[in-house]
Amino acid sequence: MDTLTKKQRSYCMSRIRSKWTKPEIKFHNYLKGYKIKHKMHPKVVGSPDIILSDYRVAVFVHGCFWHKCKLHFKAPKSNKQFWEPKIKNNVINDKKNEKKLKQQGYKIFTVWEHDIKHLKIIIKKILTNT
């Protein structure tokens, strides 16, 4: 059961960003600090969060809740009729977007919100696997 009123919950949900989230900002700042050329939220097919065009790499920075992380996702107990299809559609769209980018010749990397604390390892993996 939700402990917030409908108005309070609506306000909280309206504060959630779809672009320039905290994990994306950390990723961006790390790349910028090491002068790794990248574009945030480029207008390309598949809508990746970050493009490393020199490496032909598309990066998605996924939130554990919104994209159903296998390690941390917990389904909401309230308003299941809304949340179940919403999260399911997010996962379906993720797969469609990845497929579109692969068809354009991009390598795809998905970075989960819980992995952001290991950016050095993640960036090294991305750059060495291209």
* 5 pLDDT higher than 90: no
Largest CA distance in the chain: 49
**pLDDT for res 79:** 85
At 115-127, the pLDDT tens digits run: 999 999 999 999 9
**pLDDT for res 125:** 93
Domain 17-128: homologous superfamily in CATH? VSR Endonuclease (3.40.960.10)
What is the pTM assigned to this prediction? 0.85
Burial pattern 73-96, b for ≥16 Cβ within 10 A else e, equals eeeeeeeeeeeeeebeeeeeebee
Q: Which of 6-15, 21-30, 37-46 bottoms out in mean pLDDT, i.e. has the lowest?
A: 6-15
**pLDDT for res 9:** 66
Q: How confident is the model at residue 13 (pLDDT cuts 50, 70, 90)?
A: low
Question: Average pLDDT in the 21-31 region?
Answer: 95
Q: How confident is the model at residue 3 (pLDDT cuts 50, 70, 90)?
A: confident
Q: Dihedral of the CA atoms 93, 99, 115, 124 (nearest 10)?
A: -160
At 41-66, the pLDDT tens digits run: 999 999 999 999 999 999 999 999 99
* 18 pLDDT higher than 90: no
**pLDDT for res 15:** 66
